[in-house]
Structure 1
Amino acid sequence: MSTRNLERLFAPRSVAVIGASNRPQTVGALVMRNLLMGGFQGPIMPVNPKESAIAGVLAYKDVAALPVTPDMAVVCVPPKAVPDVVQALGDKGVLAAIVITAGLGQIKDDEGRTAQERMLEIAGHFGMRLLGPNCVGLLVPGVNLNASFLHEPAKPGKVAFVSQSGALCTAVLDWATPRGIGFSHFISLGDNLDVDFGDTIDYLGTHPDVRAILLYIEAVRDARKFMSAARAAARNKPVLAIKSGRVAEGAKAAASHTGALAGADHIYDAAFRRAGILRVYNLEELFEAVETVAHQRRLKGERLAIMTNGGGIGVMAVDDLIDMGGTMAVLSDETVGKLDAVLPPTWSRSNPIDIIGDAPGKRYTDSMEVLFTAPEVDSMLVMHAPTAISSPDEIAEKVIELAEKNKRAHITTCFVGEGAVANARRMFAQARLPSYETPDQAVRAFMHTVTFARNQKMLMETPASLPVEFTPATTTARLVIEGSMAKGHFVMSEPDAKAVFAAYGIPTVETHIARTPDEALEIADRMGCTVAVKILSPDITHKSDVGGVMLNLNSPEETRQAAQSMLNRVGETFPDAQIDGFTVQRMMRRPGAHELIIGVTTDAVFGLVVLFGEGGTAVEVIADRAVTLPPLNMNLARNLIENTRIYKRLQGYRDRPPADLDAICLTLIKVSQLVCDIPEITELDINPLFADSRGVLAVDARIKLDPKQTRGPHRLAIRPYPKEQEEWFTMTNGEKVLLRPIRPEDEPKHYEFVSSLTSEDIRFRFFGLVKELPHDQMARLTQIDYEREMAFIARADLDKDKAEETLGVVRTVTDADNERTEFSIVVRSDLKGSGLGVALLEKMIRYCRARGTRQMIGQVLKDNTRMLHFCENLGFRRERMVEEDVYELVLELQEVPERSAHDPA
């Protein structure tokens, strides 16, 4: 389930309280008090078999006795009684309930089922949505709903707060009220057994009264639903999160370096970045950030100019900016010259721009006007320290006046001090200009806007095409993996692991297996080069730690002796280890090459995670790593690399040329593709991966397998490109075209496709004349979430001398409950009658049927008779007129079962 029936929960017209009470300080009494005092306009119906009235309101013996079916019920009864109450609510037709009661998991019936299991089973039967259990309730100030037992009401506002912790709900409300911070929704999820983060984000992401969404997260249950909902919402409004439990105590030993390095908190960080969520670390920062990103104007770049009347506070701001990874604007000679004309001769002549302590309001605005026009300045921090000469109020008034004239300017203010500047800060607040008390607060707020802008850019960025096309030999890789599992080797031997990587086009070192020291001699003799020997054992994870690696062996006899001494040494140290022999590999000398690590591990929440960083034997000590969620493209791969310390060295320094970053990115993409294609892979390492200006080379390799792993949402938090949906189609003119899902890399060709359409095609598709689609809109059309949307395009190489072209596209957007999907289709004008339109729409119909979607709808202009007849021939019916000139067409995709009276519509 997702947003189904959530309107009844978050905007009910009537409420029943099951377990309402007159006993002071009980949950039932507090919920009734809050509902009544909140001014809720609909009926409030208490249920208590022992009372005739609760808080002066007529009470009812049981749910069946209620005079009307409430939209929502609040359940405050003991744990044992909750399943029976939910049954009664379902029988009554109630489709939403808040279960405040805790402890349902500890109560069992005669059959051993917990009260929690019974409650969920009953609610699922009726399609009833449950908030909780073990929550403090729900507040929606906009409809005067306070269905909670919180100690005070929430002020109305435009920010939604969603929390797993009831105690934190109390703390946040206590903190926010005196500061005048209001909320559109204040939601306690509790154990979130039904309504969870994904559901609430989906609902709030499209709600017109919600300007920003704040989350307090302890753990995510359904990673794929969470990521899809957050990515969709973050394109429309700021989503911010606090994640508790950042320090992992007692981490378990892992079978690979990757497993040891990829801590859970790093993975949440990666998931938040990928979803466009801005992460903060305390309540004050949370509300500072939401005020900043929700009110600030769009940031055009990251270069900050700091203007101040006090050198000390300016230098503090610079220190904070650099510490937080920000960028100082470097003033051009032209800008310095313009500032010379409006500032005293003693000004700093650089950034930070010290305009001297006696600066009046006009000096501030004169300097700001110069900086507004400076191409090297993207944003401005205006600072002021009170002096006996200048008036903070007069300066604030001038700054506000200038900001009003320059609506597109990005300005943050910092007036340090208390009493002397308090009114100036109030003036900024009324003018919606962010204002902060200290340099570090102001800089942190600016960096929130930078991080938010980066996240938004990553959501909308068009990835570059792959530097080279590669087609993995997936069948070969699978055969090697199946062979390894058949032998019971669930940690693959190094040669087998390298064979898998080679099948995916990753360059590897020539490697052979020797069962005995004498075989090692023979192999070294055949290879005729300097070799390295490593112990081959499924029980030894890190070979170099136990003397299981010998390098630079220059002769066959030296190789045999090294293998024998290694066998003796390991046998004494690990007498119980299974020794399968040795690997003998060509000794690769790459002077100046960087040693990197690329790895994959499986997280319990987000599934597969890709890791990149500095490799080598001291990889855990160096701990230079970044993680992300697959699948990857060139932009995401490069962003992963940029988040490590070794990135700067990879760009080259002194006489060391830059490494081939494209080759590293492509290797990351290949590894990502490998683990997406083969579900049995749960963990892998390439360490070291040599990287230099000539490319990359996998020197050591490790793959861990689990034959029980299958495909599914638990493996990948983000659904990868569905390659299985690719198919060829032959048009009536005999030309073959590829029908496949759209990819983010298709954006440039999609511009060409749209520009090739006739004005009539565009009017029929967009219901109006569209001259040009901006990047953010085109990104939404090409960067789709395959979990919720689908777009199939037709691509063809029309001429050997021309790049492939987009010939047509059909797309659907499905509601969160997979009930209805809305389609649109357009084919290039010169290809109408080629059968391509039918092929595309029939392919989409098959796809939606297969994923269980109930109904496909579309809107077609009344005068688009060709499309109307086209759809009707495929089984669509004209359902209704949406507008005077627009038909809604409907196609039933599934056989519709008969519904009971209480089934949700």
Structure 2
Amino acid sequence: MSTRNLKSLFRPQSIAVVGASIKPKSIGSVVMRNLLKGEFAGPVMPVTSEHASVGGVLAYPDVACLPKAPDLALICTPPSTIPGILRTLGERGTKAACIMTSGLHLEQDAGGATMLELSLAVARQHGMRLLGPNSMGILVPGIGLNASSSHENVLPGKLAFVSQSGALCTAVLDWARAREIGFSHFIHLGDTEGVDFGDVLDYLGSDPGTRAILIYMESIHERRNFMSAARAASRNKPVLAIKAGRSREGARAAASHTGALAGSDLVFDAAMRRAGMLRVQDIEEIFGAVETLARSKPMKGRRLAILTNGGGIGVIAADDLAEMGGELAQLPDEVIDKLKAVLPPGWSQGNPVDISADADGERYVKTLNILSESKAVDAVLVMLAPSAVSDPTDVAAAIIKTAKDRPRANVMTCWVGNEAVARGRHLFSGAGIPTYDTPRAAIQAFMHLLQYRRNQELLMEVPASAPTDFVPDTRRARFLIDEALAKGGGTLNEPEAKAVLEAYGIPTVETHVARSPSLAGKIAMAMKESVALKILSPDILHKSDVGGVMLNLQGAFEVEKAAHAMLERVKAVYPEARIDGFTVQSMARRPGAQELICGVATDPVFGPVIMFGQGGIAVEVIADRAMALPPLNMNLAAELISRTRVARLLEGYRGRPPANKEAIQLALVQLSQLVVDFPEIVELDINPLFADSQGVLALDARMVVAPAKPGTEHLAIRPYPKELEEWFTMTDGRKTLLRPIRPEDEPNHHILVSKLTPEDIRFRFFGLVHELPHSEMARLTQIDYAREMAFIGEIEKEGGGKETLGVVRTVTDPDNDAAEFAIVVRSDLKGSGLGKRLLVKMIEYCRSRGTRTIVGQVLKDNPRMLAFVQHLGFLPIRTIDGDIVEVELELQKEHELGPDPTD
């Protein structure tokens, strides 16, 4: 993934149309016509040997004859010609091409290579960016660029639309044109063989002319690149997505409950949440959602009050709210009393607040003021149906005035009807107040705000540390997994899988393996308690379905008899199943415990995913599950649990105490760490996982493993890189842990800033900063380790706890070409050696990942810092605004250190 040369693609200074034509309805003709009609300011150079000119513009017989190398080439020629055209363009210096031709993967040369393979190889050789193949092109109306085969031009605007589907592009163009919706960019990726979603998200995420990014996707090629780009873009502006194929389940046959339940669409939802994006289902909804996000204030809670002049539309809205999982605000007695004082006796006496059909603007305003002042209400939906005794336009004007007087109130409106309410809707739009035609559209918009807020919290959260430090026995887990792999890979049986879970701190019930009925009886006698007997077979997933489970057995005779009967049943139902024996396990006496399921599945796009939901033998029928991408922390685990129906049962009911949610969260974190540490794990089931007030207990488990490369490349999100931790001794003898920053470091980061002198604050932030808000500090402490890095120096305090002494950070461009650094050390620790070691550690890290240069900015009146970085090999390269010196270090060559200015 890279943004290299994307400027040539999206903001070209010159364009060549290779395969330009005057034949009506040919791609070459349509593209030329669109370019010339769009009033593109740069030269447009048609390339064709068939015509002397195209559209009144002098044509050139081939690419070699062009008077200059174009920034962008639009290629509309047959597949067999394209590799040669790209080679000539690359040799001349062209850096971007849009291949509008389809079918490059179908034609081969004499050696069997496809035209697509040859084209990609040529592009790589010359550093050329390819859009497509099979792309309808690019529209950037702000610069008059219509480099497309579109039937419509687009209006200028602040929305960027990116699609893999050409048909959807033309439909959206029609839809948006009729509604006067404009775009900053309109991009059809085509087959995404060159430029993909990650590249475009990186480019548009930092484009100042783009307010929001709308994407339609069918497939993703690079999971980690996509997630990194999406997370980076979502921090800057709303990113909304439509995903095709919602109903398709994973194509691979699953060997576990988790695999069977992990539909690819659920995984995509989990990825969108983790990336801070908002997912919608259709074209109209995506534009409605972006307008909602643009016009509405950030939502602080989920409680909605509905104010209406008609009971019917209010009830419809309340029903839609309940159906979509929203919360109707419960009005306190004092609010009810205030409403009684201003409303006629016939009002609804509750929420929805029906103030009757004759309500005028004054009655609406009084009611709205009371509701918006209440701490029990987070937002108000104001609704109106036209009536003979009320003027919708007057009411709208009154609502607008009171909304302006209360800038913190979150107000949405729904004027139901057509001609009679059109003027009111127009007033709301002009005043920047969200307005909707139907109750369902209004409620959907409210839910968009809630979901977007939750997704942004996942992106920007400050997780708590795990309540119990667990140190996994990775050696034990490695031995068990390697032993299974040595047998050719496949399934770890129940006792083996439980042993792996125990190595990672997940409690399991005592389990023994018996190879024969008589041995099962002897084990049961030694256990001296009631036991559960289960068949042990690599071929049987659902033991209960074949009579392979018996509970509450006592003594050797009863267990041995049950084992013989079980063998007969299983052989009758599943004669070809391989039988390895039985498991004998303690009966878990946990009355009232909730049966859960959690596990791991491997998605073909996003890699490992964690699944959680209601467990038991009917798990597929109940289908109560939610998915999340690892790595997890306690907060992310809590959010995963909250998205299931069983979460309500875990709160306790009818005398059952609440389950220990911290224990469930910790089990999910431990499971996440297991899959982070062992890429060999393909699937894992814990079903059931008992959960009650005492904690959790895994009763049954199954694991599937396969050979895998070591490391964390199997994960869509790079986890905390623990391998980068090291100890450093400062000049005063104190040992300091140097490690990558974690989200839970935010509180100590605030303390670090508070201990800086005003001068050091100015040197670091180029101005006086008293404190950083949570949103900014979250950006500094919750980083994407694939794109950014920050190392802190941390020390144990005498009275307990830990303290941050300094931090160095870099943000690397998507091309890994340059990393920009910043460093700060507590003001009383100058000369301790900590600052030097932190920056050297960062230089070593950037050099190891192939970054070309590291750059930074230093105030000219900070000579100590200038001397410090020059000692490490940085060179001043330019002065910015007269008082800022930019320094740069080339990382791929060695530097001699000068005298240390801190000595």
The verdict on a shared fold, with TM-score over 0.5 as the criterion, is: yes
Q: CA deviation at 1:646?
A: 0.6
Q: Counterparts in 2 of 1:125-140, with a 5 A limit?
A: 125-140=125-140
Partner of residue 817 from structure 2, selected from 816, 819, 824: 819
Q: In the alignment, what sits opposite 2:792?
A: 793
Q: In the alignment, what sits opposite 1:22?
A: 22
Q: CA deviation at 1:729?
A: 1.4
* C-alpha contact 1:298 1:408 (8 A) present in aligned 2: no
Partner of residue 853 from structure 1, selected from 848, 851, 854: 851
Measure the CA separation in 2 of the matches of 1:353 and 1:532.
57
Counterpart of 1:760 in structure 2: which amino acid? E
Q: In the alignment, what sits opposite 1:782?
A: 781
Q: In the alignment, what sits opposite 2:40?
A: 40
The worse-fitting range, judged by mean Cα deviation, of 721-730 and 359-368 is: 359-368
* C-alpha contact 2:250 2:262 (8 A) present in aligned 1: no
Measure the CA separation in 1 of the matches of 2:253 and 2:682.
15
Counterpart of 1:586 in structure 2: which amino acid? S
The worse-fitting range, judged by mean Cα deviation, of 729-738 and 70-79 is: 729-738
Counterpart of 1:247 in structure 2: which amino acid? S
Q: In the alignment, what sits opposite 1:175?
A: 175
Counterpart of 2:776 in structure 1: which amino acid? Q
* C-alpha contact 1:159 1:183 (8 A) present in aligned 2: yes
Q: Deviations over 1:700-757 (max 9, x none)?
A: 11111101444353x1111111111111112222221211111111111211121122
Counterpart of 1:750 in structure 2: which amino acid? H
* C-alpha contact 2:795 2:803 (8 A) present in aligned 1: yes
> 3-state DSSP class of the match of 2:304?
strand
* C-alpha contact 1:63 1:92 (8 A) present in aligned 2: no
Counterpart of 2:855 in structure 1: which amino acid? I
Q: Deviations over 1:807-839 (max 9, x none)?
A: 111111000111100111111122222221122
Measure the CA separation in 2 of the matches of 1:2 and 1:131.
13
Cα–Cα, structure 1 residues 832 and 103, in superposed 2: closer, same or farther, change >3 Å?
A: same
Number of residue pairs matched?
A: 894
Q: In the alignment, what sits opposite 2:867?
A: 869
* C-alpha contact 1:809 1:825 (8 A) present in aligned 2: yes
Q: Counterparts in 2 of 1:83-102, with a 5 A limit?
A: 83-102=83-102
The worse-fitting range, judged by mean Cα deviation, of 608-617 and 336-345 is: 336-345
Measure the CA separation in 1 of the matches of 2:745 and 2:870.
31
* C-alpha contact 2:489 2:706 (8 A) present in aligned 1: no
Partner of residue 839 from structure 1, selected from 827, 837, 840: 837
> 3-state DSSP class of the match of 1:106?
coil
Q: In the alignment, what sits opposite 1:902?
A: none
Q: In the alignment, what sits opposite 2:114?
A: 114
> 3-state DSSP class of the match of 1:235?
helix
Q: In the alignment, what sits opposite 2:478?
A: 478
Measure the CA separation in 1 of the matches of 2:550 and 2:421.
69
Q: Counterparts in 2 of 1:390-429, with a 5 A limit?
A: 390-429=390-429
* C-alpha contact 1:610 1:630 (8 A) present in aligned 2: yes
Counterpart of 1:545 in structure 2: which amino acid? D
Measure the CA separation in 2 of the matches of 1:647 and 1:795.
37
> 3-state DSSP class of the match of 1:471?
coil
The worse-fitting range, judged by mean Cα deviation, of 248-257 and 627-636 is: 248-257
Measure the CA separation in 2 of the matches of 1:535 and 1:775.
54
Counterpart of 2:407 in structure 1: which amino acid? K
Counterpart of 2:850 in structure 1: which amino acid? G
Q: Counterparts in 2 of 1:246-325, with a 5 A limit?
A: 246-248=246-248, 252-325=252-325
Measure the CA separation in 2 of the matches of 1:755 and 1:128.
48
Q: CA deviation at 1:552?
A: 1.5
> 3-state DSSP class of the match of 1:82?
helix
The worse-fitting range, judged by mean Cα deviation, of 473-482 and 660-669 is: 473-482
Measure the CA separation in 2 of the matches of 1:367 and 1:591.
50
- Fraction of identical pairs, as percent: 61
The worse-fitting range, judged by mean Cα deviation, of 350-359 and 40-49 is: 350-359
Q: Counterparts in 2 of 1:337-486, with a 5 A limit?
A: 337-486=337-486
Q: CA deviation at 1:251?
A: 5.0
Q: CA deviation at 1:250?
A: 8.5
Counterpart of 1:846 in structure 2: which amino acid? E
Q: Counterparts in 2 of 1:200-279, with a 5 A limit?
A: 200-248=200-248, 252-279=252-279
Unaligned runs of 5+ in 2: 895-903
Q: CA deviation at 1:57?
A: 0.4
> 3-state DSSP class of the match of 2:595?
strand
* TM-score, normalised with respect to structure 2: 0.97
* TM-score, normalised with respect to structure 1: 0.97
Cα–Cα, structure 1 residues 489 and 574, in superposed 2: closer, same or farther, change >3 Å?
A: farther
Cα–Cα, structure 1 residues 529 and 609, in superposed 2: closer, same or farther, change >3 Å?
A: same
RMSD over aligned CA atoms reads 1.5
Measure the CA separation in 2 of the matches of 1:41 and 1:556.
91
Q: 2:753 aligned with 1:754, yes or no?
A: yes
Q: In the alignment, what sits opposite 1:900?
A: none
Measure the CA separation in 1 of the matches of 2:536 and 2:375.
60
The worse-fitting range, judged by mean Cα deviation, of 382-391 and 102-111 is: 382-391
Measure the CA separation in 2 of the matches of 1:24 and 1:459.
50
* C-alpha contact 2:302 2:326 (8 A) present in aligned 1: yes
Q: CA deviation at 1:798?
A: 2.5
Cα–Cα, structure 1 residues 555 and 751, in superposed 2: closer, same or farther, change >3 Å?
A: same
Counterpart of 1:434 in structure 2: which amino acid? P
> 3-state DSSP class of the match of 2:306?
strand
Q: CA deviation at 1:489?
A: 5.0
Q: 2:723 aligned with 1:724, yes or no?
A: yes
Counterpart of 1:797 in structure 2: which amino acid? E
Q: Counterparts in 2 of 1:519-558, with a 5 A limit?
A: 519-558=519-558
* C-alpha contact 1:789 1:811 (8 A) present in aligned 2: yes
Unaligned runs of 5+ in 1: 897-905
Q: In the alignment, what sits opposite 2:882?
A: 884
Q: CA deviation at 1:458?
A: 2.0
Q: In the alignment, what sits opposite 2:734?
A: 735
Q: In the alignment, what sits opposite 2:54?
A: 54
> 3-state DSSP class of the match of 1:687?
strand
Measure the CA separation in 2 of the matches of 1:353 and 1:487.
68
Q: CA deviation at 1:411?
A: 1.5
Q: In the alignment, what sits opposite 2:897?
A: none
Measure the CA separation in 2 of the matches of 1:37 and 1:373.
54
> 3-state DSSP class of the match of 1:690?
strand
Q: In the alignment, what sits opposite 1:901?
A: none
Q: CA deviation at 1:368?
A: 2.1
* C-alpha contact 2:217 2:241 (8 A) present in aligned 1: yes
Q: In the alignment, what sits opposite 1:690?
A: 690
Measure the CA separation in 1 of the matches of 2:760 and 2:564.
76
Measure the CA separation in 2 of the matches of 1:308 and 1:485.
65
